[in-house]
Structure 1
Amino acid sequence: MSSRNRQKNGRSALERKLRLLPNAPGVYLHKDKRGKVIYVGKAARLRPRVASYFQRSGEHDPKTEQLVGNIADVDYIATANEAEALVLEDQLIKEYRPRYNIRLKDDKRYPYLRVTLQEPYPRVEVVRRIVDDGARYFGPYTNVRAMRETLKHVSRVFQVRTCHLDLPEQTVPRPCLDWQIGRCSAPCVDYDTQVAYGRRVLALIRYLAGQERGLLDELRAEMSALSSARRYEEAAKVRDRLALLEAALDGVGRVYGLTGDLDACGVVRDGTTGCGVVLRIRGGKIMTSHHFLLEDRLASDTPAFLAQLCREYYPRAGDLPSVVLVSHVLPDKEQWRERLSGLCGRRVAIVRPRRGPRKESVDMALANAAHKLNEHRLRDQTRVRRVAPGRALALQDA
């Protein structure tokens, strides 16, 4: 059979498959002639959405035309509703990493802080993958240096171990350097009780989850109670912990006029490259900032980049606020609201503010995103300038 006939038969088979698609919500997977998934999308109604790709030539932008020209087959998975389709789309994009979907430009795994609650004496450590193992995860941290500083800080404040000893089964003859410099309470040599250690682990979790203000109040009450009971040595330790926390929080920037816990998300784009920033604001103070460089071969609109920012950050975020502020209209807003609410077990509102302190916080996220994107552009230009002379020399030698 000739190449032209094989191509014609392939198109006929694809057309038959398109006619059999259900008129129901679900996820579709475009594949190339090798069977590789090149694009994953979701739809409220699969049949018309997938059929829209195969309109007459010239009705798509050039990038989408390029995608359509590479489609040799289509698979689909029907779901009960659009919310399920949104979750499944996210899972399949992460599994197949299709070339035409928006994705992280550097395509690396950002680190998390993991608290091993499944152990009698939990430890805190850095990992790059989330596993369903009973541990509590915080992140992702896009600024690795800031994450290392956070780990160093919480070790000083809460004295929770970072070693990999299997306690209490595994023992050592003497405590390590972390105990000597005040970063661990040395449960490995029974210098700490499991009850006291457990209380500090719970306090550590509250701190990483953004509940700093309530934690400070509890520490003040604990210090007062210990002093009243004339347990002055224990009260002094709580006082020192309190001072470290207050000093750290004093250095955090405040967004005036904001109360409560919220995230401010901003996205900017330049052609096929974009940058998204999430400002994590707790009690009116900016606690952390996370940025993600995104790339899209189809040069989608800015709201599509915003949806990808949410897809990268929120399914693994350890601490979800009650309000998420966004810079643009979020595609599938209701499905995202349901999904975020399901992740944290309470209602999460998604708001695009028009004025006031909330709008100012989103503008701050946008300014940070623009700055990070410009930094990336300048790095790329510098890299090109460094490489160009060598390439030119190679051409001359040839």
Structure 2
Amino acid sequence: MANPETYRPAAGTIPTEPGVYKFRDSSGRVVYVGKAKNLRARLNNYFQPPAQLHPRTRQMVFTAASVEWTVVASEVEALQLEYTWIKRFDPWFNVMYRDDKTYPMLAVSVGERYPRAFFYRGPRRKGVRYFGPYSHAWAVRETLDLLTRVFPIRTCSNGVFNRHEALGRPCLLGYIDKCSAPCVGRVSEEEYDATVRGFVAFMSGRTEHVVRELTQRMNAAAAELEFERAARLRDDLDAVNKVMERQTVVLSVGTDADVIAFDTDELEAAVQIFNVRDGRIRAQRGWVVEKTGDEPGSLERLEEGRKDPALPALMRDFLVQYYSDAVDRVKEEQAEDARLRASKVRRRGVDQESHTAAAPPMPVPREVLVDTIPEEADEVTLLLAELRGGPVDIRVPRRGDKASLMQTVNRNAVEALHQHKLKRVGDLTARSQALQDIQDALGMEEAPLRMECTDISHIQGTDVVASLVVFEDGLPKKNDYRRYRIKEAAGDGRSDDVGSIAEVTRRRFKRYNEDKLANPDEEASAMMFADEAAEVETTGNKRFAYPPQLFIVDGGKPQVNAAQAVFDELGVVDVKLIGLAKRLEEIWVPDDDEPVILPRNSEGMYLLQQIRDEAHRFAINYHRQQRSKRMRASALDGVPGLGPARRTDLVKHFGSVKKITEASLEEIQQVKGVGPKLAETIYQHLHRG
């Protein structure tokens, strides 16, 4: 690996104009592409002291061996050139929003002589038109089953097609009129192409023409007393309407918009996009990608309820890459369609105009609704307008149906990131690898089968609480979770995170020492029979069954040293102690000046991050409970002999606690159910200060 100082450009040689830069490794391969308004200012950021760099950025600059740049005339040109180079070089350190291969799609092999429609998962191929993606596989199959009534396009494989072509008789679908049976020449190539074009046009969103034509043909058949044909057309129309009903109407008719939302954590970002055409949700797609670390604010801790400062940069990169890819794909499809039409015209010797295919829909809509305005919004808007060939409006919806839909898309993004994390937890191989990674990184003799993590939560020193979460075999063990109200290190508007960590550590392991002294033989048996011992643990007052192999505190070196001091005080020697810093995901070990760095994409790092996030969530929930309880507290709560019903009657009679405080003893006695003795108690309690 090269030292960045060996290839750092000389001072003053980097221009200050906008441009695009490339980092290359020792073999000349491009490992990262970026853009900048000011090349000099941007590139100088990469040559800071390594400790100040984001872990992924640090890995990139040490992987690279050289840097080069290209000056452009404007920031819009920089966006275009950045996208072009990312697509051309496929750099490893750039975020790539590639097609998610887990989404099912409906595909039409327009490149074949007799195109077929089929269910498909995987990367896109030339000569195939794709529709979707759909959220469920059954939705693709049911859509195809309904539409083959109206457009009897073949759905069989090439092997089945060739076999029935040799036999001279169609398959079952041909007999029940769900396939036009081109294998036996029941329709000509021209007629079959017309069916395929109608199918493609309908799936592309041009449904009004199909509905109108079927309705006219049905009415005409009924007028001519051809009731059987009219009934078949009626059934076809019902099938078309069922397909359209599955595309939920969410906005007014004629609305074309894409709705995009992100959810992020320190390492990854999930993005969801709903494509709304003519007021209906036509498609939904999503990606989960690793953040590059090159975004502004990537080193900041994401606190509850605060937006990720890296979101504007993520949104900018997504919009440029997604829509540029979509437009390139449409151009490729148009070129492929033109080539295929020309080939068929030459083969058949017929007019070109009779075989003109419907143009693919424009992938860039008039409105792009986002949950965060992208960085360099004006330049991004100009680029999308250029791609669309018309004006584009990028905005955040604030009210109405569009704002409601944005909330739905945002919930989908949150759920997608959550499910992505759960997949790792549910994978036994990934959990085993995570425990092995942690064992190797910390030099432990055994894998940490039981891990505990603590975190502190408060707002400006009020309602200071702590959480203790437990993971066994890489999975949360919620029966063993603990919650603490900080007593010694906080209170009266003051808070000391380091002292709070020490207090929680002392209370947790002092309890363990007491249990061990009370039951000297139980610890050994608990370690031998961990599963049996774990069954007796609850969130009540029962003791822990056995200590963790790894104890994690949320924080850096000061917090770790405070916890280690408690360990020394209590004589805890059989537990490994570490701190997980929030800023760079560094692992701090007591009495060590340098942190342990796990690779960002390692299973061990994902597991440690999940444990820390779970402790953070549990602490925040408890803090909210305490804060809510305090805000609901009343001056009447501590009055001896005053129950909930009488408190309610008092507040209803006077209107507020303040009015009760201002009332005289005689006025309090007038409340129904309040006698002289209780009234005296209430009056004395409210006026004792």
Query: Which residue of 2 is the match for residue 289 of structure 1?
Result: 284
Q: Compared with structure 1, are the counterparts of its residues 312 and 43 closer, same or farther at alpha carbon in structure 2 (3 Å cutoff)?
A: closer
Change over 3 Å in CA distance of 1:345–1:9 after alignment to 2: closer
Task: Name which of 237, 240, 244 aligns with 2:235.
Answer: 240
Contact 2:320 2:384 in 1 (8 A): no
Displacement of 1:363 in angstroms is 1.1
Secondary structure, counterpart of 1:271 in structure 2? coil
Q: Once the 2 structures are TM-superposed, how far is the Cα of residue 120 of structure 1 from its aligned partner?
A: 5.8
Alignment-derived partner of residue 374 in structure 1 = 418
CA distance in 1, matches of 2:87, 2:135: 18
- Secondary structure of the residue aligned to 1:15 is coil
Is the aligned partner of 1:90 residue 2:83? yes
1:212-242, Cα deviation, whole Å (9 max, x unpaired): 3453233323333444456655544432221
1:187 corresponds, among 142, 167, 182, to 182
Aligned to 2:514: none
Aligned to 1:348: 392
Aligned-pair CA distance for 1:244: 0.7
Deviation of 1:329 after TM superposition, in Å, equals 0.9
The alpha-carbon distance between structure 1 residues 247 and 140, as it changes in their structure 2 partners (threshold 3 A), is closer
Partner of 1:302: 311
TM-score, normalisation: structure 2: 0.48
Cα deviations by residue, 1:138-190 (Å, 9 ceiling, x for unpaired) = 3556755644554444444422224565999x954222344245442112222
Q: What amino acid does structure 1 have at the position aligned with 2:9?
A: E
Whole-Å separation in 2 of the counterparts to 1:368 and 1:9: 44
1:15 to 9, 16, 23: 9
Cα shift at 1:117 = 4.6
> What are the Cα deviations for residues 84-117 of structure 1, in whole angstroms up to 9, with x where unaligned?
4434433433444434322359975866544455
Q: Which of 351, 357, 362 is matched with 2:406 structurally?
A: 362
1:138–1:208: 8 Å Cα contact kept in structure 2? yes
Q: How far apart, CA to CA, are the structure 2 residues paired with 1:55 and 1:387? A: 36
1:271 aligns with 2:315: no
Q: 2 CA distance for matches of 1:79 and 1:110?
A: 38
Deviation of 1:211 after TM superposition, in Å, equals 3.0
Residue in 2 that maps onto 1:255? 250
1:312 positional shift: 5.8
| Code of the aligned partner of 2:196 | V
Counterpart CA distance in 1 for 2:73 and 2:121 is 34
> Structure 1: 5+ residue runs without aligned partners?
none
Structure 1 residue 72 corresponds to structure 2 residue 116:
no
Find the structure with the greater CA-based Rg: 2
Q: What letter matches 2:426 in structure 1? A: T
Cα distance, 1:251 vs structure 2: 3.7
Q: TM-score, normalised by structure 1?
A: 0.77
Cα distance change of structure 1 residues 90 and 127 upon mapping to structure 2, 3 Å threshold: farther
Higher mean alpha-carbon deviation, 231-240 vs 363-372, is at 231-240
Residue aligning to 1:216? 211
Q: Which moved more, 1:50-59 or 1:301-310?
A: 50-59
Shift in CA distance, 222/89, structure 1 to aligned 2, threshold 3 Å: farther
Corresponding position of 1:42: 35
Instruction: Give the match for residue 383 of structure 1.
Output: 427
Structural mapping, 1:333-344, within 5 Å:
333-344=377-388
Q: State the Cα distance separating 1:326 from its structure 2 match.
A: 1.0
Q: Please list the CA deviations of residues 23-82 of structure 1 after superposition, one character each: whole Å capped at 9, or x if unmatched.
A: 555432112344343321123454443344335777655554454444421133455654
For residue 122 of structure 1, report the CA deviation from its aligned partner.
3.6
Q: Percent identity?
A: 30
Task: Name the CA distance, whole Å, in 2 between partners of 1:142 and 1:310.
Answer: 22
8 Å contact from structure 1 (residues 272, 299) kept in 2: no
| Residues 29 and 37 in structure 1, CA contact (< 8 A), matched pair in contact too | yes
SS at match of 1:30: strand
Q: Which amino acid aligns with 1:53?
A: Y
What secondary structure, in the 3-state scheme, does the structure 2 residue paired with 1:359 have?
helix
Tell me which of 202, 206, 215 is aligned to 1:207. 202
Q: Which amino acid aligns with 1:355?
A: R
Deviation of 1:267 (Å): 0.9
In 1, Cα distance between the equivalents of 2:140 and 2:81?
A: 30
Superposed CA offset, 1:1-22 (max 9, x none): xx9xx969943xx414x85555
- 1:365 is displaced (CA, Å) by 0.4
Higher relative contact order (CA 8 A, sep 6+): 1
Distance 1:308 1:384, change over 3 A: farther
CA distance in structure 1 between the aligned counterparts of 2:64 and 2:193, rounded to whole angstroms: 55
The CA deviation string for residues 112-144 of structure 1, in whole angstroms up to 9 with x for no partner, is 5444556664433547455665x6443556755
- Asked if the contact 2:5/2:47 (under 8 Å) is kept, the reply is no
Please state how far the C-alpha of 1:197 moved relative to its aligned partner.
3.2
Specify the alignment match of 2:521 in structure 1: none
1-structure distance, mates of 2:145, 2:313 = 37
Is the Cα contact below 8 Å between 1:156 and 1:182 reproduced in 2? yes
Distance 1:198 1:73 in 2: 54
CA distance in 1, matches of 2:280, 2:5: 62
Q: Residue 248 of structure 1 aligns to which amino acid in structure 2? A: V
Q: CA deviation at 1:356?
A: 1.5
In the alignment, what sits opposite 1:103?
96
Q: 1:27 aligns with which of 4, 11, 20?
A: 20
Structure 1 stretch displaced more, 63-72 or 361-370: 63-72
CA contact (8 A) 2:147 2:240 kept: no
Deviation at 1:191, TM superposition (A): 1.8
Q: Which moved more, 1:83-92 or 1:202-211?
A: 83-92
Match in the other structure for 1:158: 151
Compared CA separation, residues 90 and 234, structure 1 to 2 (3 A): farther
Contact 2:102–2:121 at 8 Å: present in 1 too?
no
The separation in 1 between residues aligned to 2:291 and 2:31, in whole angstroms, is 12
Shift in Å, 1:370: 0.7
Letter in 2 for 1:378: L
Q: Secondary structure of 2:427's match? A: helix
- For the structure 1 residues 77 and 45, does the alpha-carbon distance in structure 2 shift closer, same or farther, using more than 3 Å as the test? same
- SS of the equivalent of 2:260 reads strand
